[in-house]
Amino acid sequence: MSVPPEAAGRTAEPHATGEGSLGRKVRAKREQVVIRFAGDSGDGMQLAGMQFTTESALAGNDIATLPDFPAEIRAPAGTLAGVSGFQVNFSSKEIFTPGDEPNVLVAMNPAALKANIGDLSPNAVVMVDKEAFTEANLKRAGYESNPLTDGSLDKFQLFQLDVTRLTTLALHDLGLSNRVVFRCRNLFVLGLLSWLYQRPIESTVKYLESRFKKNPELLEANQRALKAGFNFGDTTEMFASAYEVVPAQIKPGRYRNITGNTATALGFVAAAVKAGRPLFLGSYPITPASDVLHELASFKNFPVYTFQAEDEIAGVSSAVGAAFGGAIAITTTSGPGMNLKAEAVGLAVKVELPLIITDVQRAGPSTGMPTKPEQTDLLMSMYGRHGESPIPIIAAATPADCFECAYEAVRIAVTYMTPVILLTDGQLANGAEPWLLPDVDTLPPIKVEFASDPNGFLPYARDEQTLSRPWAIPGTPGLEHRIGGLSSENLTGNISYSPANNELMVRTRARKISGITREIPPTSVFGDSVGGDLLVLGWGSTYGPIREAVKQSREKGKSVSHIHLRYLNPLPADLGELLHRFKKVMVAEMNLGQLLKMVRADYLVDAVGCNKVQGRPFKVSEIVNRIARVLEA
Amino acid sequence: MATALTRKDFVTDQEVRWCPGCGDYAILTAVQKAMPEFGIPREKIVFVSGIGCSSRFPYYMNTYGFHTIHGRAPALATGLRITRPDLDVWVVTGDGDGLSIGGNHLIHVLRRNVDLRILMFNNRIYGLTKGQYSPTSEVGKVTKSTPVGSIDYPFSPLKVALGANSTFVARSIDVEQKHLGEMLKRSHEHRGAAFLEILQNCNIFNDGAFNDVTDKGIKAEHQLVLEHGKPLIFGKNRDKGIRMNVMTPEVVQLGNGISENDLLVHDEHNLALAFMLANFDPPMPTPVGVFYSEIRPTYDAAVNAQLAESKEKMGAGDLKKLINRGDVWDVN
């Protein structure tokens, strides 16, 4: 069987084929391909997917990824609950999402097939390890008959591969256990797909060399499996052609592939370096935020302090203590941890110390679906504290954008002496995209000036423009003073229960936060800034699907535009006026209408929602359809 | 200069607002008196507290101070101490703040051995919330929230501290100014988490809770002052002692063939002995002094050593390198 050209990805224009460097085999061009790797959570699908992504990035494609793994570390082998997936979209054009429907599914066992088959595009390529389709595995996956033989996969291009047998053959003389050999299957598959899409495998070889530096036997095994897969593709009669996805038109510069959590960590380090202060992270491990802690723990030489606290509360409290001492203090968590941190965040609001609280949002309520993304913590970030306690909120739109947002959060926090909430989510955290590396020298300055003059020093005297109070750190002679959670007197900070003073302080802090609008650049409109039929408003990780959906709708001649917010509190000063330029406003978000409530309340605009809470990002088609319905209504 | 400081230098202009007759006044006095002896400049000293009567303490100390949230002072102080090794950081807490809502932070700061001095004012009652029982209140205690008597079995702060692998555990009493001063000094000298329980009278909600060890007429019969290397003797006439009867400590009368040589000798480096003494409840005498001390690397020093080592190995952090590391590619 050979792959029909339309099956293995969106065909490039013009429909070019040509003689490749592969001897008798031809190469067909593809504009865009979406592959999903799926297997047991122990099958190494995340690794195969990440390496394929790196290979694709190095090949010059634009990429977007969507890892999808279970919360259980090792659910029972072969079951649906244990299926781990990794989707990568690579293209010769600019792309915004990991893709709605995979064109290629690699299923390492029956459960992986069953869990993913419903998502595929018509005529998609399905590759399976046929030896994994044993009676026992079929039963575990809940199949009553074998899908490889019962005709249920007829609408797909099915490839039954001998992955296990071929991997075993390639490694037979190494004297390894069956178990070890079995675990090299992911590299065989990676090799095969690397050939099929003409990806260079050097980066994977290099990765293996570094990963198995201390174990030459495993290095040899993994490299052999990789190359065996690659060579199998070249020599087998199974594939009529390999595919070429030519490099995308990408802004010139140096790139690396980056996940949101890594970008967040780097943004914080960059900000601390620019501020000339040590970075302190107080954190308690929680999915999907822990990788920020892991990343930062290896940057001690900057210096970066990481404190794995006894709980979420100690995580944020230790950060407040570090902020009092003059460090760039941050805490990282996800939804449940936000609830626990609320009281300490309220203290930071009251004593006006800089602090960044990163919430890598996940599906809730309660424990919910810890590895799946949602945007359901916006209103908690806005209002989830007792008392009047406004906090600036910044949300990242893409994995790479996490760098800028983390950096900006620190800049705002120290400029305004306030805690700042940074919202990302599980999709940004683990998703990856090419990151145009910033020029360190041109990052905006972050100015930290500690108070030092005892003459007329008052802990709550304020800067005329920003209304921020001085950062007066212990160790400074003559500035000894006390701060605390009790209501305090204007200027002196002494305990005060004066009614008028309390209102003055509450209103002053509110004015300080609303004044941050002066930091927000003019809002950019994708589409028609003069107005039109419909504006789609979004924030956070919905950027990709919204932008793609608006693009596609505009290509169909619809009057649709897109505004994507980074600053959620305060909202941009020009936003209200912009919203009123459009006949209709639709807010697309992965919750039941949180930003929607905010804009309706703030701007009296009769906006409608586009909402999803399935722990999965929007498909582009879902937003496209909703746009069409809203325009018709 | 630090040496020129006096008690008055540590007094703030803030009106002290504890109830008249509260034991906290005596503790404040003892701390303000002890501070000049330590020779630390005021700007290097920080008092961090949680919530409760005891936690108002920082407002009255003319140093840096941070009145934080209920139970979290140890966590807050940890972040400060780790990043600012130059500071002398004190935590002031109470039996409710430190053992109830903040119990988790207390045990962890102790096991980590963060270099902090932790003063726990134990009055065995909730004062600021007006008189509910606390985790150190005795079983059967009648309070506003336990009208027919508390059924909670109490914590011993010292046993909690010892159980948490604390490296310094001591007890003193609010009105014993001289002894309290000595214990503050010992706490200050200790490198690591120094845990000092101070028995403190709440004359409004739990008056006389420690009468047996504070009443001038009877206290000598109930206080057992621990001194390293000295036999465990107490009593007005110093005629009673603690002797081991196989595995069980017992009170014996000196004389009639029993001499000091038969008595237990205090060894503050003996953890088993410390646990045994922390277990003394009436009718055994109440020990005060240093129960236990050991030298163990402090958490904050170890953290900073790792940072220094990393800098030595990898050089000072280079942001450009960090951003450009890994698989990078150029697009022209």
Distance in angstroms (rounded) separating the CA atoms of residues A313 and B104: 10
To probe the interface with B, which of A257, A283, A318 has the most B CB atoms within 10 Å?
A: A318
Which three-class secondary structure state does DSSP give residue A421?
strand
Cβ distance of B78 and A252 shorter than 8 Å: no
Closest partner CB to A57 (pick from B58, B325, B329)? B329
Q: Cβ(A124)–Cβ(A101) under 8 Å?
A: yes
Closest partner CB to A280 (pick from B14, B66, B79)? B79
Amino acid at position A28, single letter: A
Confidence of residue A168 (pLDDT cuts 50, 70, 90): very high
Q: Cβ(B206)–Cβ(B134) under 8 Å?
A: no
Q: Which residue of B has its CA nearest to A345?
A: B69
Amino acid at position B282, single letter: P
| Closest-CA distance of chain B to residue A496, Å | 11
| Closest-CA distance of chain A to residue B200, Å | 24
Q: Is the pLDDT of residue A545 over 50?
A: yes
Model ipTM over 0.85: yes
Cβ distance of B323 and A438 shorter than 8 Å: yes
To probe the interface with A, which of B28, B76, B91 has the most A CB atoms within 10 Å?
A: B76
| Closest-CA distance of chain B to residue A178, Å | 33
Q: Which residue of B has its CA nearest to A281?
A: B79
Which three-class secondary structure state does DSSP give residue A281?
strand
Q: Is the pLDDT of residue B12 over 60?
A: yes
DSSP per-residue string spanning B274-320: HHHHHT--TTS-EEEEEEEE-----HHHHHHHHHHHHHHHH-S--HH
pLDDT tens, position by position, A315-369: 999 999 999 999 999 999 999 999 999 999 999 999 999 999 999 999 999 999 9
Closest partner CB to B317 (pick from A255, A299, A305)? A299
Cβ distance of A325 and B59 shorter than 8 Å: no
Please state which architecture CATH assigns to domain A256-442: 3-Layer(aba) Sandwich (3.40)
Amino acid at position A317, single letter: S
Share of chain B above pLDDT 70, in %: 99
Cβ distance of A301 and B307 shorter than 8 Å: yes
- Cα B185 to Cα B170, B191, B238, distances in angstroms: 11, 12, 26
Cβ distance of B322 and A269 shorter than 8 Å: yes
Cβ distance of A57 and B332 shorter than 8 Å: no
Tokens of B248: 């069980």
Cβ distance of A311 and B104 shorter than 8 Å: yes
| Closest-CA distance of chain A to residue B122, Å | 22
Mean local confidence (pLDDT), A598-615: 98
Tokens 């409760």 map to which residue? B52
The predicted pLDDT at position A3 comes to 44
pLDDT tens, position by position, B195-214: 999 999 999 999 999 999 99
| Closest-CA distance of chain B to residue A360, Å | 22
The predicted pLDDT at position B3 comes to 53
3-state secondary structure B258-278: ECHHHCCECCCCCHHHHHHHH
pLDDT tens, position by position, A379-420: 999 999 999 999 999 999 999 999 999 999 999 999 999 999
Give me the phi and psi of B187, to 5 degrees please: -60, -40
Cβ distance of A318 and B59 shorter than 8 Å: no
Cβ distance of B76 and A252 shorter than 8 Å: no
Closest partner CB to A321 (pick from B14, B77, B324)? B77
- Strand B117-122 relative to strand A83-91, pairing: unpaired
Q: Cβ(A588)–Cβ(A543) under 8 Å?
A: no
Q: Cβ(A238)–Cβ(A411) under 8 Å?
A: no
Name every chain B residue with its beta carbon within 8 A of the beta carbon of A320: 68, 76, 79
To probe the interface with B, which of A201, A316, A480, A492 has the most B CB atoms within 10 Å?
A: A480
| Closest-CA distance of chain B to residue A29, Å | 21
pLDDT tens, position by position, B124-154: 999 999 999 999 999 999 999 999 999 999 9
The predicted pLDDT at position A9 comes to 64
Measured torsion, CA atoms of residues A250, A251, A253, A257, in degrees rounded to the nearest 10: -50
Distance in angstroms (rounded) separating the CA atoms of residues A372 and A334: 11
- Strand B117-122 relative to strand B88-94, pairing: parallel
pLDDT tens, position by position, A451-471: 999 999 999 999 999 999 999
Which three-class secondary structure state does DSSP give residue A358?
strand
Burial label for A603, CB within 10 Å (0-12, 13-18, 19+), is middle
Tokens 């003689």 map to which residue? A19
- Cα B67 to Cα A484, B9, B287, distances in angstroms: 4, 20, 31
Distance in angstroms (rounded) separating the CA atoms of residues B180 and B198: 8
Q: How many CB atoms lie within 10 A of CB A87?
A: 26
Sheet holding A328-333, edge to edge: A304-308, A279-283, A328-333, A355-361, A419-425, A393-395, A567-569
To probe the interface with B, which of A301, A311, A497 has the most B CB atoms within 10 Å?
A: A301
pTM assigned to the model: 0.93
Q: Cβ(A297)–Cβ(A307) under 8 Å?
A: no
Q: Which residues contact B150 (CB under 8 A, 6 or more apart)?
A: B133, B137, B138, B139, B140, B141, B142, B143
Q: Is the pLDDT of residue A1 over 60?
A: no
Q: Is the pLDDT of residue A622 over 90?
A: yes
Start and end residues for every CATH 3.40.920.10 domain found in chain A: 10-244
* Superfamily of structural domain B2-227+266-300: Thiamin diphosphate (ThDP)-binding fold, Pyr/PP domains (3.40.50.970)
Start and end residues for every CATH 3.40.50.920 domain found in chain A: 532-632
Amino acid at position B152, single letter: D
Q: Which residues contact A47 (CB under 8 A, 6 or more apart)?
A: A186
Cβ distance of B80 and A278 shorter than 8 Å: no
CATH fold, domain A532-632, is Rossmann fold (3.40.50)
Q: Is the pLDDT of residue A194 over 60?
A: yes
Closest partner CB to A482 (pick from B51, B59, B81)? B59
Q: Is the pLDDT of residue A19 over 90?
A: no
Name every chain A residue with its beta carbon within 8 A of the beta carbon of B78: 307, 309, 314, 318, 321
Closest partner CB to A266 (pick from B77, B303, B322)? B322
Name every chain A residue with its beta carbon within 8 A of the beta carbon of B97: none
pLDDT tens, position by position, A472-521: 999 999 999 999 999 999 999 999 999 999 999 999 999 999 999 999 99
Name every chain A residue with its beta carbon within 8 A of the beta carbon of B82: 280, 305, 307, 318, 322
Q: Which residue of B has its CA nearest to A472?
A: B64
Start and end residues for every CATH 3.40.50.970 domain found in chain A: 256-442
To probe the interface with A, which of B1, B55, B68 has the most A CB atoms within 10 Å?
A: B68
The predicted pLDDT at position A68 comes to 83
* Pick from A278, A354, A246: nearest CA to A29: A246
Cβ distance of A314 and B315 shorter than 8 Å: no
Distance in angstroms (rounded) separating the CA atoms of residues A507 and A499: 12
Cβ distance of B75 and A310 shorter than 8 Å: yes
| Closest-CA distance of chain A to residue B121, Å | 20
Name every chain A residue with its beta carbon within 8 A of the beta carbon of B104: 310-311, 314
Distance in angstroms (rounded) separating the CA atoms of residues A343 and A337: 12
- Strand A355-361 relative to strand A328-333, pairing: parallel
Q: Which residue of B has its CA nearest to A59?
A: B329
Give the DSSP H/E element, type plus range, for residue A422. strand A419-425
Distance in angstroms (rounded) separating the CA atoms of residues B134 and B127: 9
Name every chain A residue with its beta carbon within 8 A of the beta carbon of B329: 57-58, 60, 254-256
Closest partner CB to B84 (pick from A58, A475, A483)? A475
Tokens 């495998």 map to which residue? A201
Q: Is the pLDDT of residue A15 over 50?
A: no
Q: What are the strands, taking DSSP E only, across A260-311? A: 279-283, 304-308
| Closest-CA distance of chain B to residue A372, Å | 27
Name every chain B residue with its beta carbon within 8 A of the beta carbon of A60: 329, 331
Burial A451-462 (b: 16+ CB within 10 A, else e): beeeeebbbbeb
Mean local confidence (pLDDT), A234-253: 88
Tokens of A109: 């066992």
Distance in angstroms (rounded) separating the CA atoms of residues A183 and A43: 6
Please report, for chain B, the start and end positions of each structural domain, with discontinuous segments joined by +. Answer: 2-227+266-300, 231-264
pLDDT tens, position by position, B241-283: 999 999 999 999 999 999 999 999 999 999 999 999 999 999 9
* Superfamily of structural domain A10-244: Pyruvate-ferredoxin oxidoreductase, PFOR, domain III (3.40.920.10)
Q: Which residue of A has its CA nearest to B12?
A: A481
- Cα A143 to Cα A80, A146, A152, A250, distances in angstroms: 11, 7, 11, 45
The predicted pLDDT at position A25 comes to 59
Q: Which residues contact A393 (CB under 8 A, 6 or more apart)?
A: A378, A381, A382, A420, A421, A422, A423, A567, A568, A569
Q: Is the pLDDT of residue A131 over 50?
A: yes
Tokens 């879902």 map to which residue? A622
Closest partner CB to B69 (pick from A253, A256, A347)? A347
Closest partner CB to B323 (pick from A60, A440, A486)? A440
DSSP per-residue string spanning B59-109: GGBSSEEEE--TT-HHHHHHHHHHH-TTSEEEEEEEHHIIIIITHHHHHHH
* Pick from A337, A357, A358: nearest CA to A349: A357
Confidence of residue A76 (pLDDT cuts 50, 70, 90): confident
Strand partners, A355: A419
Confidence of residue A10 (pLDDT cuts 50, 70, 90): low
Closest partner CB to B331 (pick from A253, A479, A481)? A253
Q: Is the pLDDT of residue A27 over 60?
A: yes
Mean local confidence (pLDDT), B52-74: 97
Name every chain A residue with its beta carbon within 8 A of the beta carbon of B12: 482
